Structure 1
Amino acid sequence: MKPPEHLTVRGPEDVLGFIPHSLGYWPAGSLVAMTLHGNRLGATLRLDLPGPATLADPRDYARTVRDYLAADQNADGALLAIFTNDGWTEPPGTYRGLLDALECRLDAAGMPVRDAWYVGDTYWRDANCTDASCCPVPGRSVQTIRDSMLNAEMVFRGSSVGPAPENAALPAATISGDERAAILRSEAAWTAQLDRRRGSREQFTSLLALWCSVLAREAGQLLPANDLAFLRASLGVPAWRDAVLVMAAAGTPAALAGAEAFGIFDDGCSMAPVGPVPFGQRAAGETAGTGAEPVNQDAAGMEAVDGQDVPGYGEVLLGLEPEIPAWHRLNSLDGVLQQLSACGGLPGAAALTGRGWIAWCRGRGSYAAAYLGQALEEEPGYRLAELMLELVRRGTLCGWAARKEAAWPRFEPDAA
Structure 2
Amino acid sequence: MTAPQPLSFHGPEDILAFIPHSLGYWPSSSVVAMTLHGTRLGATLRLDLPGPAGLRRPEAFARAVRGYLQADGDADGTLVAVFGGTAGAPAPQLHQLLMLELYDALQRAGMPVRDAWYVGDRYWRGAFCVDSSCCPEPGRPVQQILDSRLYAEMVFQGSTVGPPPDGSPIGDQWAADYLAAVRAARTAWRRKLQRRRGSREQFHLVLTYWAAVLGRPAGEPLLPAADRDGFLLATLMVPSLRDAVLVQAAAGRTTAVAGAAQFGLLRDGPFPRPLSPLPAGDLPGRQPGGDAGSGSGTGVGTSAGQVFGYGDVLLGLGPEVPDWPQLEALDRMLAHLALVGGKSAAAPLTLRGWVAWCRGRGSVAAAYYCRALRAQPQYRLARLLLELDQRGTICGWAARKEAAWQKFSTDPERGTGQLG
TM-score, normalised to structure 2's length?
Answer: 0.89
What residue number does 2:244 align with? 243
Alignment match, 2:235: 234
Give runs of aligned pairs for residues 50-89 of structure 1, distance below 5 A.
Answer: 50-86=50-86
Contact 1:87/1:94, CA 8 A, preserved across alignment: no
Query: Residue in 2 aligned with 1:222?
Result: 223
1:364 maps to 2:361: yes
Shift of 1:148: 0.6
Tell me, which stretches of 5 or more residues in structure 2 are unaligned? 412-416
How far does residue 301 in structure 1 lie from its aligned partner after superposition? 6.8
Structure 2 residue 259 is matched with structure 1 residue 273: no
Contact 1:27 1:164 in 2 (8 A): yes
Aligned to 1:299: 288
Query: Which residue in the other structure is 1:328 paired with?
Result: 325
Describe the shift of the 1:269–1:101 C-alpha distance in structure 2 as closer, same or farther (beyond 3 A). Answer: farther
Match of 1:405 in 2: 402
Task: Measure the CA separation in 2 of the matches of 1:166 and 1:123.
Answer: 24
The aligned residue for residue 174 of structure 1 is 173
Distance in 1 between residues matched to 2:211 and 2:160, nearest whole Å: 29
Change (3 A) 1:151 1:4: closer
Percent identical residues = 55
Q: Which amino acid aligns with 2:162?
A: G
CA distance in 1, matches of 2:234, 2:216: 20
- Tell me how far apart the structure 2 counterparts of residues 412 and 269 of structure 1 sit (CA, whole Å): 52
Letter in 1 for 2:214: L
Q: Deviations over 1:237-279 (max 9, x none)?
A: 1011000000000000010000001101233333210112279
> Structure 1: which amino acid aligns with 2:96?
R
Aligned equivalents of 1:239, 1:257: Cα separation in 2: 12
Q: 1:178 to 1:320 in 2, by over 3 A?
A: same
CA shift in 2, pair 1:222/1:65, >3 Å: farther
Write the deviation string for residues 351-398 of structure 1: whole angstroms up to 9, x where unpaired.
111111111111111111111111101111100000011111122111
CA contact (8 A) 1:24 1:160 kept: yes
1:160 corresponds in structure 2 to 160
Distance in 1, matches of 2:88 and 2:98, equals 12
**Structure 1 residue 133: Cα displacement:** 2.8
Q: What SS does structure 1 have at the residue aligned with 2:161? A: coil
Task: Tell me which amino acid in the other structure corresponds to 1:10.
Answer: H
**Which residue pairs with 2:205 in the alignment?**
206
Aligned partner of 2:114 in structure 1 is 114
SS in 2 for 1:31: strand
Q: 1:90 to 1:321 in 2, by over 3 A?
A: closer
Matches within 5 A, 1:335-354: 335-354=332-351
- State the superposition RMSD in angstroms: 2.4
Task: Using the TM superposition, give the Cα deviation of residue 169 of structure 1 relative to its aligned residue in structure 2, in angstroms.
Answer: 6.3
State the Cα deviation string for residues 40-94 of structure 1 (Å, max 9, x = none). 1111111000011111211110010001111111110000000112399698611
CA contact (8 A) 2:89 2:119 kept: no
SS state at 2:81 partner = strand
> Between Structure 1 and Structure 2, how many residues are aligned?
400
- Normalised by the length of structure 1, the TM-score is 0.90
The one-letter amino acid paired with 2:222 is Q
Query: Out of 385, 396, 409, which is 2:382 matched to?
Result: 385
Distance in 1 of aligned mates of 2:94 and 2:31: 13
Q: Which runs of 5+ in 1 are unaligned?
A: 284-296
Indicate yes or no: 2:127 matched with 1:130.
no
**8 Å contact 2:89–2:120 — kept in the other structure?**
no
CA distance in 2, matches of 1:89, 1:298: 58
Question: Residue 44 of structure 1 aligns to a residue in which SS?
Answer: strand
In the other structure, the counterpart of 1:293 is: none
State the shift of 1:218 in Å: 2.9
